[in-house]
Structure 1
Amino acid sequence: MDRLRFLLKQLRERLWVRPMIICLLSIGMVFIAKLFDSTQLRQLVPEVSMDSVETLLSVMAASMLVIATFSVASMVSAYAAASNTATPRSFVLVVADDASQNALSAFVGAFIFSIVAITAVKNDYYQTGGLFILFVVTALVFSMVIFTFVRWVDSIARLGRMGSTLDKVEKATGEALRRRRDAPTLRGSLARARPAGQPVFATQVGYVQHIDIAALQAWAEKNEVRVILTALPGTFATPDRPLAYVAGFRADATAPDCAPVVEAFEIGTNRQFDDDPRFGLVVLAEIAGKALSPAVNDPGTAIDVVGRLVRLFHLWSLPATAGDDERPPCDRVEVPEISMRDMFDDAFTVIARDGASQVEVSVRLQKALSTLASLGDEKIREAACYHRGLALERSSMALTLPEDLATVRDAASFSAEERPPALAD
């Protein structure tokens, strides 16, 4: 199921999938209408003029192609805006927008439906029952297109805007964090010892996008070994960096073929949001860093991103919603937990560095890290305190006005236990 979820998520990012499905359904509806000619329905329904159906279909065919072309142009403009105003890494989320894909699918599907239906009507394909059903379906399709167009206009006005892009990135990151929080070891057992055994290397260069833990468990059970992962989703895989180690060979057994272990790692050219929560944090930090650049000079967006990061780490600190069975379902696959320090580095380093000279950003960052330190999670507290001290050091070096620096120091408000040694008076 996890593998299926990953594949379906990949298909959602392809613009041609939904239009193709809708086109096939549209063609099917044209031929399904013919089936009603052989039923008693033809004696019960009123007779519909062939000219009226043909006129309605002609209007739809003439307008849908224009609207579909216009929608594609608008979507391309929104995609370009998202890449330019936010970050190119957000492109896949904007492409996967449901409202835009549904609108494009509806327009293209209505166009194909009208063309095929006109051809059938012109060739006297229908009798009374089929023509009535075709008229009803045409009216429903026309109503659906109007509703979709009105809804899509409201959506396209926001698509590609900074706020909409941030919402999509935060949502995708939150979903990835929730899945990793509920399964911190990807349904495997926790890797506690230093990895040892026979190393398994990648055969291609790219980012680990997905790991099929169930396949690794099945292979390990078959060969009576253990698989210790060293590369999590988001890791840059190279032929000289082990993806995993295979340990637990019997002394009298020959080493098994480790090719299935490599095949369990889905490696691609780009990082994906689905199984890599750190990537979402990186993208949010990139958006904030771009907003803090001298060319953009938009500290408000950086402050907005800081607030979103607080929400995401608060989500991580909530109790897991997994089942009550504490026994790991894949006990022969050992998986390391994601590092909280690495997550904080991804999220806050860029903002602390590029916003050190802006007092409003520095103050907001100190308050956000203070909030995270008080959530009650020990790992989050340690990482937050470390980055509070680091951010204060950056601000101390970047702020030239003593009053601004005093404001940031007041916002930091370290307790005696939290104050880093480097900041001691």
Structure 2
Amino acid sequence: MDAPISVDRFRFLLFSFKEKLWVKPLSLCVLSIAAVFASKLADGTALAEHLPKVDQSSVETLLSIMASSMLVIATFSAGTMVSAYASASRSSTPRSVSLIISDDASQNALSTFVGAFIFSVVAITASINNFFEDAGIFLLFCLTCLVFVIVILTFIRWVDSVARLGRVGSTVQKVEDAAMRAINHRLSTPRLGGKPQPNSVKEQGGDPSKYQTLTTDSIGYVQMVDMAKVQAWAEERDTQVHIAMLPGQFCTPDKPLCYIESFKPKNSEDDSSSKASDKSALLSAFQIGSERSFEADPRYGLVVLSEIASRALSPSVNDPGTAISILGSYARLFIQWAHKEKCDDIGDIKYDKVTVPDMSTADMFDDAFTGLARDGASMIEVSIRIQKTLDAIAKTSNDDICKAATKHAKEAYERSMKALIHDGDKEMLSAVVNSLNNKRS
């Protein structure tokens, strides 16, 4: 259980750090300070005799210009990013803000500006106090020119991206990309790398004679399951662990996180306290938080896209074009998910002591289409596009996806026929549905 950090946890922590705005600026600050003092290494070496001499005052002038300008630009970039976060919360959904915060272009720009400011302040302080000799001054001059070039290129790139930061279209694309990454990761490791879970586990899970249950006092969403840690725990105790809650599901004290077959405690004494200690060790493999995670939960991206579409279809916004764009995102995501059946066949089982339930395709369709079909039922253009999108998804070779798409297409049609007022719109929708059904048959 005390093994090095697993790939699953490292991936989760890496994504968590990307959502924190202070990580990259702090890293660049440390790197900037190290770069200043690295210039001192040239003094007193054989290389110093061959380097040209640079006037110290000219370097200090460049550093002074950088110090006075970078703080203003860094403050401006931070204010722009905060405005973009507020705009994303108002125009799309607050659940998308974490993706905008993790935007690489904005974080790199802010980090570069803050790092350049720290570099210039530390360098000019060292230079004024005659910390460097001629060789050190030359290297400091070269570093200053390099920092100027990096700042200019970063600023140009950042200006191009800041115009789209927080806009609905850009936010939709970021959410779709996050959902696609989660889907591809789940396809590459079906059932999180565990074995298929028998149907008898869920039926007999409440039977104490067959399984023991692991629960937690924490209330929140399962953000990650460290499968390597669960596997190591099960191997040490020669047992089988059956995962009951996947990332994205809401857990409460009455819901088991997993079922455990009869096991031998790690300690020699087989008593209740020893088993309780062992269960506590297993509990640490489950990361539980107040919010869902995009990286480990493919359904979360679908939910957030649905929220953006519902807000776009509200009377105060009245933007059916955004909802239609999101339907295109759903087509790409679900057609990609249709490869699930093929990947399940070829997927390697990494953790033979752990069984994991399959993610419900029906639940994914509920997350994506229920709210959109409800809110767009009275708009003929949205209703037609829903039917065409679901028809395209239903043509995949995955039976579960075909069944779910057909079910939601029927429900969306019934909603629209009740919500549409104009008879011509009803006739148009019926004609489209009949045409799609005839082509499918």
Q: Tell me the TM-score normalised to structure 1 length.
A: 0.95
CA-atom RMSD, angstroms? 2.1
CA deviations on 1:156-177 (whole Å, 9 max, x unpaired) are: 1110011110110000000001
Matched, 1:72 2:86: no
The residue identity in structure 2 corresponding to 1:275 is: A
Match of 1:214 in 2: 228
Deviation at 1:46, TM superposition (A): 1.2
Query: CA 1:82/1:122 → structure 2, altered by over 3 Å: closer, same or farther?
Result: same
Match of 1:59 in 2: 65
Deviation at 1:412, TM superposition (A): 2.1
Matched, 1:2 2:8: yes
Deviation at 1:260, TM superposition (A): 2.0
Matched, 1:153 2:159: yes
Q: Contact 2:341–2:398 at 8 Å: present in 1 too?
A: no
Deviation at 1:317, TM superposition (A): 1.7
SS at match of 1:341: helix
Deviation at 1:183, TM superposition (A): 1.8
Task: Calculate percent identity across the aligned residue pairs.
Answer: 50
Q: 1:15-414 alignment to 2 at 5 Å? A: 15-195=21-201, 196=205, 197-249=211-263, 256=275, 257-318=278-339, 327-413=348-434
Query: CA 1:319/1:286 → structure 2, altered by over 3 Å: closer, same or farther?
Result: closer
SS at match of 2:192: coil
Query: CA 1:4/1:298 → structure 2, altered by over 3 Å: closer, same or farther?
Result: same
The residue identity in structure 2 corresponding to 1:406 is: E
Query: CA 1:86/1:343 → structure 2, altered by over 3 Å: closer, same or farther?
Result: same
SS at match of 1:258: helix
- Once residues 298 and 346 of structure 2 are traced to their aligned partners in structure 1, the CA distance between those partners, rounded to angstroms, is 24
SS at match of 1:100: helix
The residue identity in structure 2 corresponding to 1:72 is: A
Q: Contact 2:223–2:292 at 8 Å: present in 1 too?
A: yes
- Once residues 390 and 181 of structure 1 are traced to their aligned partners in structure 2, the CA distance between those partners, rounded to angstroms, is 28
Query: CA 1:416/1:121 → structure 2, altered by over 3 Å: closer, same or farther?
Result: closer
Deviation at 1:402, TM superposition (A): 2.0
Q: Tell me the TM-score normalised to structure 2 length.
A: 0.91
Query: CA 1:123/1:327 → structure 2, altered by over 3 Å: closer, same or farther?
Result: closer
- Once residues 390 and 324 of structure 1 are traced to their aligned partners in structure 2, the CA distance between those partners, rounded to angstroms, is 32
SS at match of 1:375: coil
Gaps of 5+ in 2: 1-6, 206-210
Q: Contact 1:225–1:248 at 8 Å: present in 2 too?
A: yes
Deviation at 1:398, TM superposition (A): 0.7
Deviation at 1:375, TM superposition (A): 1.2
Task: Point out the more displaced range, 276-285 or 189-198.
Answer: 189-198
- Once residues 342 and 399 of structure 2 are traced to their aligned partners in structure 1, the CA distance between those partners, rounded to angstroms, is 20
CA deviations on 1:277-302 (whole Å, 9 max, x unpaired) are: 00000000000000001111110100
Q: Contact 1:228–1:244 at 8 Å: present in 2 too?
A: yes
Q: Contact 1:61–1:114 at 8 Å: present in 2 too?
A: yes
Query: CA 1:415/1:276 → structure 2, altered by over 3 Å: closer, same or farther?
Result: same
SS at match of 1:273: coil
SS at match of 1:178: helix
Q: Contact 1:224–1:248 at 8 Å: present in 2 too?
A: no
- Once residues 215 and 3 of structure 1 are traced to their aligned partners in structure 2, the CA distance between those partners, rounded to angstroms, is 9
- Once residues 188 and 430 of structure 2 are traced to their aligned partners in structure 1, the CA distance between those partners, rounded to angstroms, is 37
The residue identity in structure 2 corresponding to 1:158 is: R
Gaps of 5+ in 1: 420-425
The residue identity in structure 1 corresponding to 2:354 is: V
Q: Contact 1:388–1:412 at 8 Å: present in 2 too?
A: no
Deviation at 1:327, TM superposition (A): 5.0
- Once residues 164 and 439 of structure 2 are traced to their aligned partners in structure 1, the CA distance between those partners, rounded to angstroms, is 46
Task: Point out the more displaced range, 30-39 or 324-333.
Answer: 324-333
- Once residues 368 and 130 of structure 2 are traced to their aligned partners in structure 1, the CA distance between those partners, rounded to angstroms, is 65
Deviation at 1:212, TM superposition (A): 0.4
- Once residues 271 and 260 of structure 2 are traced to their aligned partners in structure 1, the CA distance between those partners, rounded to angstroms, is 13
- Once residues 409 and 358 of structure 2 are traced to their aligned partners in structure 1, the CA distance between those partners, rounded to angstroms, is 24
The residue identity in structure 2 corresponding to 1:278 is: R
CA deviations on 1:235-284 (whole Å, 9 max, x unpaired) are: 1111111111111447x976733112221110001011010000000000
CA deviations on 1:41-89 (whole Å, 9 max, x unpaired) are: 2211111001100000000000000000000000101111111111000
- How many residues are matched? 419
